[in-house]
Amino acid sequence: MDAYQAGPNLSADRGESIDLTWAAKEPASADRRFLDIPPDGAERIAEILTLNIAESCADFAAANPKDLADKLDRIKFGWWKLRIKISAEDGTHVDTEWLATCGEQPGPIIIREWAKNGDEILQLQREGKIDRW
């Protein structure tokens, strides 16, 4: 598996997704959508959300910002579920789920594994029992 691509699923019902941009230090293709990952065991970093101080939120780090037109383009204060698919050119992929939040100040952006307590946190948020991260 050489070329990987990652993108949060904005709405599974509508089939919406975006390609994330790779962190500046990562060697990516000219369009910044793909990263060749050598089998060296080194960590590779994709930007998922970037802090937007002016709007007090976190913006999705889309490789092509036009992909976000008329879609969820940022997360405001609260908890959000992100689905990120990591795919290879041969069609194989790994689906991952994450719990993300951005504080009111704004920041920091916190991302945790969904499996640990994502369902519980979002349920408490819906019930109004938690409003702080």
Q: Are 21 and 63 in contact (CB under 8 A)?
A: yes
Q: Which of 79, 129, 123 is nearest to 104 (CA)?
A: 79
Whether this prediction's pTM lies above 0.75 is answered by no
Q: Binning pLDDT at 50, 70 and 90, where does residue 44 land?
A: confident
Alpha helices in 29-133, H assignment, sequence order: 114-126
Give per-residue pLDDT as tens, 49-66. Answer: 889 999 888 988 887 777
pLDDT of 3 reads 36
